[in-house]
Amino acid sequence: MITPVWPITSGTTLLDAEDEASQAAYRLVRRGPLASVAQALAMLPLRGEAPDLQVYFALIGSEPGLVPMAQPAVTALAVLLTPASRGTVTLRSPDPEDPPVVDPAYLSDKADRQALRKGLDEMRELFRAPALAAITGPALFPSPSSGDSELDAFITDSLVSIWHPVGTCRMGRSADAVVSPRLAVQGLENLYVADASVMPTITRGNTQAPTIMIAEKAASLLAS
């Protein structure tokens, strides 16, 4: 995910939601501006008809690395839905108490950088539309004058995970699959995995609903 930011010149942002009414609405009924960081969502196709980019529009500014800003701003949290890069999870040592070695290998496949660059271009074009240009100023991150190298550097510097990792216990029929199509761990008895780690590839969107489906399917398989 990358996080381009534009300043807000008209209207309110989440910086204005610190009043007692907004806090009471969230505290009592989980409603109001504090109920969600994202105020709008878009799904964009970059390389065909299916969406490749999911964009959350949040009425709060975030410097690269998701550092909150005190300036009224809107952040477009642009999430690549179909990353080609593949990370690894390996053992650190024979000691089971040692944490594993996790290498997400972000941007290790150049197709991901190209897709994020195209998504960034789409976002910059969107904010040039009259309706948005009327309430926002020139982009804060990246600068409107940024050249190719600066835009690539912004992608690298602002890149963060959207916390939807999958695939570390990939399901399949091949010898290197961790679990079978019935979610049983290969080579062991009575051990099953029922979470997002069994997905062979990530879904084009949030993983919560698919994970619930996997859990319900697992319950059905174990009960049969």
**Catalytic residues, which ones?**
164
DSSP state of 206: -
Preceding peptide of 144 cis, ω within 30°? no
| Cα–Cα distance for residue pair 189/90, rounded to 1 Å | 23
Cis before 138? omega within 30: no
Q: How far apart are alpha carbons 150 and 77 in whole angstroms?
A: 19
**CB-based contacts of 217: which residues, under 8 Å, 6+ apart?**
183, 194
d(CA 131, CA 157): 29
